[in-house]
Amino acid sequence: MLVTQFIIRRLVFSIFLLFGVSVIVFALVNAVGNPIEILLAERPGISQQAIDQMTAYYGLDQPATTRYLMWAGNLLQGDFGTSIIYNQPVWQMMTSWGLETLKIQVPGILIALALATAMAVTAAMRQYSRVDFGVMASAMLGQSLPGFFVGILLILIFSYWLGIFPSYGAYSMRSPLWGSHLLDALWHMVLPVAMLTFFNTAALTLLMRSNLVDILRHDFVTAARASGLPERRIIYGHALRNALIPVLTYLSLLFGLMLGTAPVTETVFTWPGVGYLYINAIQQLDYPVILGVTMAIAVMLVVVTLLTDIAYVLIDPRIRLD
């Protein structure tokens, strides 16, 4: 099957998927209640007239189906609506806050991939040795510690005790570090990226080590050794490439669910990213933001899965696109 044909078919299928997601999310948000009532619950002084006015302004007096159609219609034209709390266009908010999320998530995944590769190769080449057990034990420990716990631990050690890294935010409020905005941004990124790296490395290492151990037992690895190729080439050129195939799925999930897992990190470090925005929106029932971010998560997952499937075909010739 042609790659373009495959992509078109998947995209058509994705439309139905995204439609389903939008209906479910809209219904759920709708079931929670009227955001105006929640917003004004602790302000008894506001007149009924003002409440009616606001309800009409946001179109909340319309039946749910009408509101869904309006929202979906606007969405198709690229209009995500306006945040109730911030009174800003949702799209604009998502892009600026989303950039902050990518700033910590992408390095968190890529550094983890590099570390995990190095550790998995070291461990797999000396299977059942002390090094191997050491790597496995620390990876399992890392995986069983909850992410937020590691984050709080990092803050305790590096911010509270040692005072070398900031515990919250993406930028300094007053003067940037050493007068450089770039250094200041990097300085703030250290702890959140460390937390994400720690968490991602653990799972990736375990996965890669077990794949590598399995691949190293294959005849083609023995055959490569019997052909006189040096061990480094065999590990990196033959074994690792085969071992990475199953890791690709996990990696794509990390990328695809990046926005979905962001809230934990961004809450711990008060990081101005999409995750932080999402959690706040849910707490205050800022429904245009909730809907927008949820749809963005769904779209991202669809796109990343599509790219992963294409990547599989490029890496593993045995896989066909059907």
Chain contacts with other proteins (rule: CB under 8 A): 127, 216-220, 222-231, 233, 237-238, 241-242, 245, 315-318
Cβ-based neighbours of 122, under 8 Å, separated by 6 or more: 131, 135
Residue 248 Cβ vs other proteins, minimum distance, rounded to whole Å: 12
3-state class (DSSP) for residue 299: helix
Residue closest to 169 by CA, chosen among 92, 274, 268: 268
Q: Burial-class residue 89 by CB neighbours within 10 Å (0-12, 13-18, 19+).
A: middle
270 close to 4: Cβ distance less than 8 angstroms: no
Residue 283 Cβ vs other proteins, minimum distance, rounded to whole Å: 48
Nearer to other proteins by Cβ, of 163 and 228: the residue is 228
31: left (phi over 0), alpha (psi -120 to 50) or beta: alpha
Nearer to other proteins by Cβ, of 52 and 231: the residue is 231
Place of tokens 């998995």: 120
Place of tokens 């209906």: 23
Residue 322 Cβ vs other proteins, minimum distance, rounded to whole Å: 16
Counting every residue written for the chain, the total comes to: 322
Residue 232 Cβ vs other proteins, minimum distance, rounded to whole Å: 11
Nearer to other proteins by Cβ, of 22 and 242: the residue is 242
Nearer to other proteins by Cβ, of 195 and 234: the residue is 234
Nearer to other proteins by Cβ, of 224 and 258: the residue is 224
d(CA 282, CA 269): 18
Residue 205 Cβ vs other proteins, minimum distance, rounded to whole Å: 21
Displacement of CA 318 from its chain's centroid (Å): 30
Residue 297 Cβ vs other proteins, minimum distance, rounded to whole Å: 32
Residue 244 Cβ vs other proteins, minimum distance, rounded to whole Å: 10
d(CA 148, CA 275): 14
Q: Is the dihedral of CA 266, 270, 276, 277 positive or negative?
A: negative
Nearer to other proteins by Cβ, of 159 and 249: the residue is 249
Residue 219 Cβ vs other proteins, minimum distance, rounded to whole Å: 4
d(CA 304, CA 316): 18
Nearer to other proteins by Cβ, of 3 and 223: the residue is 223
Cβ-based neighbours of 247, under 8 Å, separated by 6 or more: 204, 207, 208, 211
Residue 141 Cβ vs other proteins, minimum distance, rounded to whole Å: 27
Q: Burial-class residue 228 by CB neighbours within 10 Å (0-12, 13-18, 19+).
A: exposed
Nearer to other proteins by Cβ, of 42 and 219: the residue is 219
Nearer to other proteins by Cβ, of 63 and 317: the residue is 317
3-state class (DSSP) for residue 321: coil
